[in-house]
Structure 1
Amino acid sequence: MPRRPLPDAPVPGRAGPRDGAGTPREPDRVAQIQQEWARERPDLDVTPQGVLGRLHRLAGFLTEELVEVYRRHGLGEGDFDVLATLRRAGAPYERAPGELADHTMVTSGAMTKRVDRLVAAGLVTRRRSEVDGRGRVVALTDRGRGLIDRAMDDHMANEHRLLEALTPEQRAELEDLLTHWLRAYGG
């Protein structure tokens, strides 16, 4: 089977991969891995690594960058997620624990631990539902609302910073592609 040109490998007759400004790109670590596999296993199609390998590396980097902002506000990723979910619910900034678990995609057991931690920190309260006396409701305290508002300001500034390497057009295209791909998996 003939070898396929790799995304970051020079292609005969072409100038090679370029960045958004037209400058030739150096092969990144994923391209190097693909080139090694192409040399060792030319029969193996490793082109998915170009996308998935880069997504995996990028996800790790982005997670570190995002979590650092949460830490500066004394929050873990899960704590931030719960507070943000309550804040975007609108006044009176409350949800049932099951709703919180659904919105944050964690188990009810994990949600209980998160809520316990946030109650102990004075950032949320837990009380019986006025609608259904058997159910519970988790609500932001004034302190929790102030904290998540400050954290969200920093979080959004950080997300804008993380996307600075892309033009607005590239961001829109990437968002469309990722949305399409995620929908294929029911997300």
Structure 2
Amino acid sequence: MSLGYPGGDHVDGVLRQWQSAAPDRDASPMALFTRLYRLSKYVDRRVTRVFREHGLHEGEFDLLATLYRSGDARGLTPNALRSAAVLSSGAMTHRLDRLEGAGLIRRTANPEDRRSVLIQLSAAGERLFLDLLDDYLTTLRALQAPLDDTQKQALADALRTLLLPLEATDDV
């Protein structure tokens, strides 16, 4: 059963159904948030496919990306990584163990704190990350292709406006 209409999408059909089923309720917020939810599902599927093609999961990509973009050749402490990725220490340890086992990162002694280690990208990790980054960015560009530059900027600005108060008051 198609819920859209010519020139419309699934959500247009859902909104028509809500209008018919509950005409006394304003379902208009669904126009935005149901589309965001559905879009996130489609994006997640495509991006997950890219990560899997490179043998990684999203969380592992996130850790490698954090290490790469930190610009600190010495590496980052596990706590700094955990904070950036918003992970529990157990989840962080599991991901680090997997990445280290795959030869993508290395743990080195922290010269500033003997009780701590620094996590660094290995040369193999950097190569894999940059290849993956290229494929990831290509995928994101393809996903945003229906938008012109003005629409891309307006959407990014509007989403930032929605995101800022949530980031200020909520843990992700």
Q: Normalized against structure 1, the TM-score is what?
A: 0.83
Give 1:43 deviation, angstroms: 0.7
Q: Provide closer, same or farther for how the CA distance between residues 104 and 186 of structure 1 changes in structure 2, counting only shifts above 3 A.
A: same
Give 1:93 deviation, angstroms: 5.8
Conserved in 1, the CA contact under 8 Å of 2:60 and 2:95?
A: yes
Give 1:120 deviation, angstroms: 0.7
SS in 2 for 1:186: helix
Correspondence for 1:88 among 61, 65, 69: 69
Aligned twin of 1:97:
78
Conserved in 1, the CA contact under 8 Å of 2:74 and 2:118?
A: no
Give the superposed CA RMSD: 1.6
Aligned twin of 2:16:
35
Q: Which structure shows the bigger proportion of residues in helix conformation?
A: 2
> Would you say 1:126 and 2:107 are equivalent positions?
yes
Conserved in 2, the CA contact under 8 Å of 1:87 and 1:93?
A: no
For 2:94 and 2:81, locate their aligned partners in 1 and report how far apart those are by CA, in whole Å.
12
Which of the two has higher C-alpha Rg? 1
Correspondence for 1:115 among 88, 96, 101: 96
Identity %: 33
Unmatched 5+ residue regions in structure 1?
1-7, 10-24
Aligned twin of 2:33:
52
Conserved in 2, the CA contact under 8 Å of 1:93 and 1:140?
A: no
Correspondence for 1:65 among 46, 51, 55: 46
Matches within 5 A, 1:8-27: 26-27=7-8
| Deviation digits for residues 24-43 of structure 1 (CA, Å, limit 9, x no counterpart) | x6231111111111111111
For 2:125 and 2:72, locate their aligned partners in 1 and report how far apart those are by CA, in whole Å.
13
| Deviation digits for residues 150-184 of structure 1 (CA, Å, limit 9, x no counterpart) | 11111111111111010000000001101111112
For 2:64 and 2:83, locate their aligned partners in 1 and report how far apart those are by CA, in whole Å.
14
Give 1:128 deviation, angstroms: 2.5
Q: Normalized against structure 2, the TM-score is what?
A: 0.90
| Deviation digits for residues 83-104 of structure 1 (CA, Å, limit 9, x no counterpart) | 1111111241611111111212
Between Structure 1 and Structure 2, how many residues are aligned?
Answer: 165
Quick one: which amino acid aligns to residue 161 of structure 1? A
Aligned twin of 2:128:
147
